[in-house]
Each structure stands twice: as C-alpha cells, then as structure tokens.
C-alpha cells in the first residue's frame, strides 16, 4: 500500500450512485438523522440485502452509501489496516459503484468506514467515521429478549451492564473485557461501541468527527454526534483502563499506538506492529527521508 | 392498628370467560406473614401476579404505602416507578429459581445486581454485601463465584432470598418457594424464611398449597377456591377450627405425619 489518493475512478454503468437506490438512501438518512438527534439510541431501519455476506460490514456499507457524495474521499480500514480483504473489497465496491476518490490517508479522508478500530491520527471536524457493527445491543449478554432490552433502555435501567463487569472482576481480578467495552453516551444511553479494542474508547469521547454505527443483520443504526461525552462504564475501585504495550512498534518505533502481535515463524518468533497501517507507513516513510 | 402496607380491593381477572380471580380483598400490614392457600388452579398465582403489578386486573386495585408514607395505587405508578419499587422495596421469590435468578451469573453477581441497579458503583462494597448476605442465607463464602446452575435446589432458593433481601425490602412475595424440595431441605428453608422475616420485620405474602408451610410461617391465612377467597383468619384458627366446608375438607385431607 503506498498510493495515497487514487485517481478518481470511472463509475461502472448500470448502478445507481453508490449502489443503493435513492429511496433506500433517503430511508437510511432518516434513520441516521434520528440517531444523531438521540445519541446512543439504536434506531431500527429497513436493512437491505447487500452483495456481500452478513458479518462483512453490510450495515456500515449501507450507512456509507447513504451519506456518500461525489466530492467525498473514502478510506476503508479493517482492524486498522487498509490492505486486508474486507477493506480492499469495500473500497473497490464504492470506487466501482460511485466513482468517488479513495485514499488510505486518514487526514485526507472525509468518510472512513471502519471495522473495529479508530485511526491513531486524531480525527477532525467534517470527517465521518462509519463503524461496522455485528451486535448492537450491549445488554444482550444478560437479556436475550429484545422487548425487555428496549424497556431497559427506555427506563435507563443499566444495573445489568455492571453485572457483566462485576463478573469480570470476580473471575479475573480486573475488568477483563478488552473489546466491545460498553460506554454511556451523553449521560443517557449505554451503547456497544462495536468490537473496537477498549484502547480506542477514549478517542470516542468529545471527538470532533461524527461517528455513525450500522448493524446490517440486526437492522440498527446509532450515532455519536461530534463533541459528545462518551464515558466507559467502570467501578469506583476498578476504574476504566486501556491496554498498555511494553514495547514500541517493531516497524516504526511508535509507542502509544495499538499494536498487533504478528507471528513470524514456526519457532515462536513474533513481533508487535501498529494495527493502523496508515500511520505506521507514514512514520516509516518519514524516517527514511 | 396502623394502615395496611398493601391492600387489594375487588381484584378481578379473567382469562377469556374463565375467572381466575373474582373480587378479592386483601390487607397486609408491616411485619405480617400472610399465606394464600388453595388447590392448584384456584387462582393463587394469578392473585400474586396481580398484587405484584405484573398483571393488570380487569377491575379492582392494589394500593401500597410507599416508603415516604404516601399510599398509592399501583396502576397510577409509571412503568419506571413500578420497576424501581419492585427492585428496591419489594422482593419476589419464584417457585422456579431459574426465573428468579440469572443462571449464568455468579452467586455474588446475582446478589449484587439490585445494588448495581440502584447505582452502587463500588466493587468492594458490592462484594462485601454479597458475602454478608450469602452468609445470612447459609451459603458458604467459597461459593460466591459459582453460578447457581451448580447449586442444589435448596441453595438456589436461598440465593433467591438473598438476592431479594439485599436492598432491604419491606414486602416479599413468595410463590411456592418450598415445592420440589425434599423434606429436610424444606424445613431448613422454612426456618430461614421465618427467622429472616421476624428479624427484618418483613411483610410476606406466601402462596402455597402446603398447609404445613402455612402453619409454620404465617400469621394469617386466606383460603382460595375457584378464584375467590372463601375464608380468612388467624392461621391457627383457620387450620384448627375451619368454618367453610371447603376449608374443612382441605384441612382434613392433609396426612398426619
């Protein structure tokens, strides 16, 4: 991966702009507007069949399709990386069906669709981060009935959420939930931030960018508007903490980034490298100059 | 005598054309144990659900004296208020522990849930309270991290009691808490319920088909048949000198041990 902004590609004939028809896009936009108006609240929407299997980001793709404009620059990441199957195929999907410019640079993108990471480069106003969400309901672990979870959200009865954290501490001595770590949005709704590592939770708080969440199979859209308070749930005597890494990135030497463990051979060799490929490559390139 | 803690007036509930409860009046005062007895299908469990506000009656109302002293009709409480009442001032011990407990969550988590629901956010204090209550219902402290799926029937019922009493409720509803347990386990559970209700001054409404349980626990008895309360009175009076022909039949049908 090196090409920064790709040439604006040619849109394939036979598709409406960004694949979905205009009626569907309007329906999704209405759900998005409602989601923004009620931060953290899961808005049901009429999720469509997409030309990819559930679990591959059908929710995120529909949200992106609904907000994509001709002048947008799209970046797609999968676990922080621009060059994995999911990221490459979704980026190419939108390049072919909409003809918008795509990029791997966080700072150049106006829309970033992500599967389970928030870029290390701080986001700015005017950017939109679109999350792919497998299970939008944070209370599902304790309450399998949808009627009941809706009631619990309506009455802001979130005691059960702490039961999950309690179980963690009693079993492991600390809060062992490391991803999909529940957050309270704008002092009201408890939300599942999709399976991002909890390392990224602090980035959601007071973020200048708009954050949209799409769950295709579960047919829910929710949102965190810019500059909204996002607080990770915790106990007074077991406060929220992010993962810490003992060593810097093996490629770019950065510390304070989320690292992936990569097994390099069959004899136990391993290295830790940035999960965000864009910032890692940028730093490596700068060091080489 | 002080005003009743909970009173029901003319409670009626029908399932289609079949009356489950017909015009039932009941009072429970603080610290009083009321047993509702009757055979299967007499409407006992429906009555309990009506009293708990889980079912809406077709007519009649349930009034409850709130902690701050005001008596209010349950039907006038909003959903949020009713639920708060149920998890702070009331307890409900179910016949089937699987309905009253979270089977996949540890015993400590089960007991602590109500505290967390009330806004307690200190792990150490929650765990301390959970351990304290497990001790009071005679569950070893070493089992605090085991889920109730690994507990015996009697232990599950005791855990349910701890889970309900941790917030210091004033009224506990019990639906056949001892059925399905063997006799010695039953005796131990009854002993525990009797001790706790006396110690804490709990008002208890206990539904049972077992007259021996009613005799051991309750101060007063209401006998139900076909959706109506046919006789009420002090427990020993009703059991030793029943007035209604059906109560006489019920009492005489118990095998003497």
pLDDT in tens, A20-34: 999 999 999 999 999
- With the CA atoms of B149, B154, B156 and B162 taken in that order, what torsion angle do they form, in degrees rounded to the nearest 10? -150
pLDDT in tens, B181-210: 888 888 888 999 999 989 999 999 999 988
CB-nearest partner of A166 from B80, B114, B126: B126
Beta sheet of B59-65, edge-to-edge order: B18-28, B6-15, B59-65, B71-73
On whether residue B54 sits in a domain, the answer given is no
| ipTM for the complex shown | 0.86
**Residue B1 near chain A (CB below 8 Å):** no
From B96's Cα to the closest Cα of chain A, the distance in A is: 18
Residues 127-156, chain B: which have Cβ within 8 Å of A?
Answer: 127, 144-145
Given its phi and psi angles, is residue A80 left (phi above 0), alpha (psi -120 to 50 degrees) or beta? left
CB contact under 8 A, B123 and A155: no
Q: Which residues of B touch A171 (CB under 8 A)?
A: 106, 145
Please give the backbone phi and psi of residue B164, each rounded to the nearest 5 degrees, phi first: -80, -30
**Residue B117 near chain A (CB below 8 Å):** yes
pLDDT at A120 over 60: yes
Q: Tokens at residue B45, please? A: 């469990």
pLDDT in tens, A60-119: 999 999 999 999 999 999 999 999 999 999 999 999 999 999 999 999 999 999 999 999
pLDDT at A7 over 80: no
Q: What percent of chain A has pLDDT over 70?
A: 98
Q: What architecture is the A22-138+179-232 domain classified under in CATH? A: 3-Layer(aba) Sandwich (3.40)
From B167's Cα to the closest Cα of chain A, the distance in A is: 14
Q: Which residues of B touch A169 (CB under 8 A)?
A: 123
On whether residue B148 sits in a domain, the answer given is yes
CB-CB contact of B57 with B138 (8 Å): no
> What residues of A are labeled active site?
40, 249, 252, 274, 280
Chain A, chain B: beta-carbon pairs less than 8 Å apart: 54
Q: Which residues of B touch A142 (CB under 8 A)?
A: 102, 105
pLDDT at A3 over 60: no
Predicted TM-score of the model (pTM): 0.87
Instruction: Report the alpha-carbon distance of residue A15 to residue A10 in Å, rounded.
Output: 12
Q: Give chain B's domain count.
A: 1
On whether residue B145 sits in a domain, the answer given is yes
On whether residue B144 sits in a domain, the answer given is yes
Domain boundaries, chain A: 22-138+179-232, 244-289
Selected residue of A145, A152, A235 to mutate for chain B interface (largest B Cβ count, 10 A): A235
Give the domain extent around B128. 102-167
CB contact under 8 A, A235 and B123: yes
pLDDT in tens, A193-239: 999 999 999 999 999 999 999 999 999 999 999 999 999 999 999 99
Predicted local confidence at residue B185, as pLDDT? 87
Q: Which residues of B touch A143 (CB under 8 A)?
A: none
CB contact under 8 A, A166 and B109: yes
On whether residue B218 sits in a domain, the answer given is no
Q: What three-state secondary structure class fits A220?
A: strand
Residue A23, exposed/middle/buried by CB under 10 A (0-12, 13-18, 19+)?
A: exposed
Q: Return mean pLDDT, chain A.
A: 94
In terms of CA atoms, which chain B residue is nearest residue A233? B121
Q: Which residues of B touch A157 (CB under 8 A)?
A: 83, 117
Beta strands B33-37 and B220-225, pairing class: parallel
A 10 A CB-CB count for B128 gives 12
Helices in A191-268 by DSSP H: which ranges?
A: 201-204
CB contact under 8 A, B123 and A157: no
Per-residue pLDDT of chain B (257 residues; tens, 9 = 90+): 578 999 999 999 999 988 999 999 999 999 999 999 988 889 998 999 999 988 999 999 999 999 888 999 998 998 888 988 998 999 999 999 999 999 999 999 999 999 999 889 999 999 999 999 999 999 999 999 999 999 999 999 999 999 999 999 999 999 999 888 888 888 888 999 999 989 999 999 999 988 989 999 999 999 999 999 999 999 999 999 999 999 999 888 876 54
User: If we measure between CA atoms, which residue out of B161, B149, B175 comes closest to residue B94?
Assistant: B175
In terms of CA atoms, which chain B residue is nearest residue A173? B123
CB-nearest partner of B123 from A159, A160, A237: A237
From A178's Cα to the closest Cα of chain B, the distance in A is: 19
On whether residue B106 sits in a domain, the answer given is yes
Q: Which residues of B touch A151 (CB under 8 A)?
A: 79
In terms of CA atoms, which chain B residue is nearest residue A157? B117
CB contact under 8 A, B109 and A160: no
On whether residue B128 sits in a domain, the answer given is yes
Q: What three-state secondary structure class fits B173?
A: strand
From B123's Cα to the closest Cα of chain A, the distance in A is: 6
């Amino acid at each position: 991966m090196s090409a920064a902004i790709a040439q604006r590609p040619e849109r394939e004939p036979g598709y409406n702009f960004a694949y979905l028809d205009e009626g569907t896009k309007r329906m999704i936009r209405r759900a998005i507007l409602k989601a923004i108006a009620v931060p953290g609240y899961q808005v049901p929407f009429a999720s469509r069949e997409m030309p990819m299997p559930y679990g591959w980001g059908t929710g995120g793709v529909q949200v992106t399709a609904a907000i994509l404009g001709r002048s947008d620059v799209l970046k797609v990441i999968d676990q922080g990386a621009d060059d994995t199957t999911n990221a490459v195929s979704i980026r190419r999907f939108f390049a072919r069906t909409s003809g918008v410019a795509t990029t791997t640079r966080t700072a150049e993108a106006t829309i970033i669709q992500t599967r389970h990471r928030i870029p290390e480069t701080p986001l700015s106003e005017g950017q939109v981060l679109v999350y792919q969400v497998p299970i939008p309901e944070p209370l599902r672990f304790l309450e399998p009935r949808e009627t009941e979870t809706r009631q619990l959200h309506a009455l802001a009865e979130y005691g059960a959420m702490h039961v999950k954290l309690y179980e963690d501490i009693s079993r492991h001595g600390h809060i062992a939930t490391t991803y999909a770590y529940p957050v309270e949005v704008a002092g009201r709704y408890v939300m599942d931030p999709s399976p991002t590592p909890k390392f990224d939770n602090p980035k959601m708080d007071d973020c200048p960018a708009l954050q949209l969440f799409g769950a295709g199979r579960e047919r829910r859209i929710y949102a965190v508007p810019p500059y909204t308070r996002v607080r990770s749930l915790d106990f007074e005597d077991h406060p929220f903490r992010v993962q810490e890494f003992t060593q810097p990135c093996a490629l770019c030497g950065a510390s304070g980034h989320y690292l992936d463990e990569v097994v390099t051979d069959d004899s136990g060799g391993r290295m830790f490298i940035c999960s965000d490929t864009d910032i890692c490559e940028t730093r490596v390139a700068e060091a080489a100059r | 005598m002080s005003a009743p803690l909970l009173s029901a007036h003319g409670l009626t509930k029908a399932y289609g054309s079949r009356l489950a409860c017909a015009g039932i009046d009941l009072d429970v005062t603080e610290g009083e144990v009321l047993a509702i007895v009757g055979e299967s299908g007499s409407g006992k469990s429906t009555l309990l659900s009506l009293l708990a506000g889980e079912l809406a009656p077709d007519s009649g109302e349930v009034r409850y004296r709130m902690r701050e002293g005001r008596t209010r009709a349950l039907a006038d409480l909003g959903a949020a208020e009713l639920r708060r009442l149920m998890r702070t001032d009331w307890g409900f011990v179910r016949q089937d522990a699987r309905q009253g407990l979270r089977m996949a969550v540890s015993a400590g988590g089960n007991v602590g849930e109500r505290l967390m629901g009330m806004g307690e956010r200190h792990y150490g204090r929650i765990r301390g309270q959970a351990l304290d209550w497990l001790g009071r219902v005679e569950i070893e402290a070493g089992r605090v991290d085991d889920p109730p799926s690994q507990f015996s029937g009697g232990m599950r019922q005791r855990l349910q009691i701890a889970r309900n009493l941790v917030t210091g409720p004033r009224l506990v509803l019990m639906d056949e808490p001892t059925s399905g347990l063997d006799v010695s386990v039953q005796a131990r559970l009854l002993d525990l319920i009797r001790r706790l209700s006396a110690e804490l001054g709990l008002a208890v409404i206990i539904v049972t088909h077992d007259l021996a349980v009613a005799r051991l626990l309750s101060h007063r008895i209401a006998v139900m048949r076909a959706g109506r309360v046919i006789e009420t009175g002090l427990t020993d009076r009703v059991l030793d000198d029943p007035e209604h022909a059906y109560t006489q039949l019920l009492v005489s049908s118990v095998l003497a041990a």
